[in-house]
Amino acid sequence: MSKILTSFPSADGDILRFAEGITIEDFGVAPSNDQQCLLIYCQASLIAIVSAMGCDVHGFELAAGDKYSLTELLDQISFLTPSPASSA
């Protein structure tokens, strides 16, 4: 089952809507191998990349109704150990 139900554009960037059962605790962030980007994960699946150029994802909506901007999500989640398979 896909974690992301829909992705739709807004004026500021895409908004990702997540499936039932996904909570803020399912998200994590880690630096890329080259330390140039932040990688945002949901249950260990890469869902967004934040670089100095910005991010195409602007918002995150959980099925329970919680909504987060990129900044709010980053404030809420903890850092993960980067995956050795990460290529970003």
d(CA 88, CA 80): 15
**pTM of the entire structure?**
0.74
SS3 14: strand
Tell me the pLDDT tens digit for each residue of 6-62. 665 666 678 889 989 999 989 998 888 988 899 999 988 898 888 888 888 888 999
Q: How far is CA 8 from CA 11, 43, 77, in A?
A: 10, 21, 23
Could you tell me the two tokens for 42?
């949901």
The pair of three-digit structure tokens given for residue 38, joined into one six-digit string? 């932040």
